[in-house]
A and B are shown apart, each in its own frame.
Chain A
Amino acid sequence: EPEVTQTPSHQVTQMGQEVILRCVPISNHLYFYWYRQILGQKVEFLVSFYNNEISEKSEIFDDQFSVERPDGSNFTLKIRSTKLEDSAMYFCASSDGGPQYFGPGTRLTVT
Chain B
Amino acid sequence: GENVEQHPSTLSVQEGDSAVIKCTYSDSASNYFPWYKQELGKRPQLIIDIRSNVGEKKDQRIAVTLNKTAKHFSLHITETQPEDSAVYFCAASKESGGSYIPTFGRGTSLIVHP
Closest B residue, CB atoms, query A96: B99
- On chain B, the residues within 8 Å of A65 by CB distance are none
B101, A42: Cβ atoms closer than 8 Å: no
Pick out which of these stretches binds chain A: B10-18, B39-47, B57-65, B70-78. B39-47
B43, A105: Cβ atoms closer than 8 Å: yes
Q: Please tell me the size bucket of the interface on A.
A: 20 to 34
Number of B positions contacting A (CB below 8 A): 21
In the assembled complex, the CB of B41 is this many whole angstroms from the nearest CB of chain A, namely 9
Tell me, yes or no, whether B104 is within 8 Å of chain A by CB: yes
Tell me, yes or no, whether A102 is within 8 Å of chain B by CB: yes
Give the number of A-B contacts (CB < 8 Å): 55
- On chain A, the residues within 8 Å of B46 by CB distance are 99-101
Q: Kindly state the separation between the CA atoms of A95 and B107 in the bound complex, as whole angstroms.
A: 22
- On chain A, the residues within 8 Å of B106 by CB distance are 41-42
Tell me, yes or no, whether B114 is within 8 Å of chain A by CB: no
B44, A48: Cβ atoms closer than 8 Å: no
User: Could you list some 11 contacts between A and B, CB below 8 A?
Assistant: A31-B99, A33-B101, A43-B104, A45-B102, A56-B97, A91-B44, A97-B99, A99-B49, A100-B100, A100-B102, A102-B44
> Which B residues lie at the A interface, using CB under 8 A?
34, 36, 42-46, 49, 89, 96-107
> Which A residues lie at the B interface, using CB under 8 A?
31, 33, 41-45, 48, 50, 55-56, 91, 95, 97, 99-105
